[in-house]
Structure 1
């Protein structure tokens, strides 16, 4: 049975670390996840039979900007519509903001276009490790 929660109270942070690893969205540490999710206005944790299988969050200021990020779905549930449902819930919560931004892993852009997201021509970023971000396709020299 699929259960949705936005509560941090029952999060097993080590289980969340593992979800990001297998999704695969990289290695994230417990303190970073605790800070990130605690500071997010909107967040969803999705469990199937008690096991964490999906997650997503949005940083939002309540008026101008909402930034949807960290959407992760366990491989056992990828292709089932769970990722789409997480994004749809975060979008619904973000309605009313003047802009809703999203940061996608390279190659995932077509998935997010279905929700109405379009590529920004002026978005720029500074990463902790610029070289690694460039290698993974997050940055362009143009």
Structure 2
């Protein structure tokens, strides 16, 4: 009977968002310790946003940076552990891809080990992707880049 009382609400509105709750979601997901003020900056500056609430509690998010024509970059998809493996991450990515339709390319980079999840959603591995990280050692340790 409990599942019948579940109400999920999808939104792209940032004004009522509790940034501390969002920061806690990233820690729980786990996608790292992201400060509330930093999250406010990156989500405010993102063209596309997706927030999923269940009975008023934030359970999943994602965002995409976009120039409106050439490139859309999907990032920061995070789901509470209690709601993972239920299709919510896939639905958030699908929503962000749908919002990004019309761009020449839709890009994301995955948490190491999660590449298969994104391949099932139609993403292809890139052979020439490169990055500069402010914390190069953290990127090396996390498996995001290789030693040159």
Secondary structure, in 3 states, of the residue corresponding to 1:66? strand
Partner Cα separation in structure 1 for residue 16 and residue 51 of structure 2: 10
Q: 25, 31, 40: which one pairs with 2:31?
A: 25
When Rg is computed on C-alpha atoms for both structures, the one with the higher figure is: 2
Partner Cα separation in structure 1 for residue 20 and residue 147 of structure 2: 36
Superposition TM-score, scaled by structure 2 size: 0.94
Counterpart in 1 of 2:69?
63
Secondary structure, in 3 states, of the residue corresponding to 1:90? helix
Task: Kindly tell me the number of residue pairs found equivalent between the two proteins.
Answer: 142
Give the superposed CA RMSD.
0.7
Q: CA deviation at 1:30?
A: 1.2
Partner Cα separation in structure 1 for residue 89 and residue 43 of structure 2: 18
* Runs of 4+, deviation exceeding 2 Å: none
Partner Cα separation in structure 2 for residue 103 and residue 15 of structure 1: 24
Matched, 1:101 2:111: no
Secondary structure, in 3 states, of the residue corresponding to 1:57? strand
Partner Cα separation in structure 2 for residue 98 and residue 70 of structure 1: 21
- The gaps in structure 2 that reach 5 residues or longer are 1-6
Counterpart in 2 of 1:7?
13
Partner Cα separation in structure 2 for residue 60 and residue 38 of structure 1: 13
Q: CA deviation at 1:141?
A: 2.3
Superposition TM-score, scaled by structure 1 size: 0.98
Q: CA deviation at 1:115?
A: 1.4
